[in-house]
Copies of this chain bind each other. A is one copy, B any other.
Amino acid sequence: MSLTVKSKVEVPELIERRRGQIIAAAIELFAKNGYHVTTIRDIAKRADVSIGTIYQYVSDKEDVLFLALIEVLDSYQRHVPAAIASVSEPLARFHAAVKAYCAVNDAMIGATVLAYRETKSLPKMRRKLIQEKELATNRLIAACINDCVAAGLFEEVDVELFTYQIVMFAHAWALKAWRFRPMMTLDDYLARGIRLMLNPKLTPRGKKAFAKLND
């Protein structure tokens, strides 16, 4: 029940269109100023609708946040598959997926930060749904990794953590934009990141030292 958003208007295409306006404005403002600082009046003005109209399509402000976060997470989920659809070679698919995921994050840096900032403002059930959507996107990455392993291109690898390494790498571009943006382009970031994640770090001597450390 609390996972669906009630509308006083029943016409589906109207709901879609109006909510589209409202949520787009909300994402923009939430991303820039934060959820609590943004007022319904701000959103109404930005979306070019009246306050009353917002409340025709949504029960309260929290609904707007919920819909905004869903939209953000869904947009990840839409872009990654599209980017890898035409690529079949496993390593190329992996690369395309990581690239696409970084690109989405780059295109909506504010939205990614928003998800980190405000998911906690949601009640537990709704937060869980957002998290499930994150996991669904993660699975797209994990599948690419598994394919590479199956194709003998990757060593046996800790898929769960490797997936998160990639996810955090992509998110870091948004979360630490203040650091990376002035230093490099997204393409540089991607190339350097891929190299970092795929190549060994330990020298043969380092390997031995590491083995001893773990005794």
Contacts and interface: CB of A to CB of B under 8 A. Distances in A.
A59 interface: no
Nearest to A33: B120
Contact of A202 (B160, B179, B199): B199
A148 B206 contact: yes
Given A161-B192, A209-B153, A199 B200 contact: yes
A91 interface: yes
Contact of A206 (B153, B158, B203): B153
A12 interface: no
Contacts of A206: 91, 148, 152-155, 198
A194 B11 CA distance: 54
A19 interface: no
Contacts of A154: 201-203, 206
Interface in A124-178: 131, 135, 148, 152-155, 157-158, 160-162, 164-165, 168-169, 171-172, 175-176, 178
A131 B179 contact: yes
Contacts of A1: none
Nearest to A172: B168
B92 A178 contact: no
Given A116-B175, A152-B206, A168-B172, A157 B37 contact: no
7 contacts: A91-B209, A117-B118, A153-B202, A153-B209, A155-B203, A165-B196, A168-B168
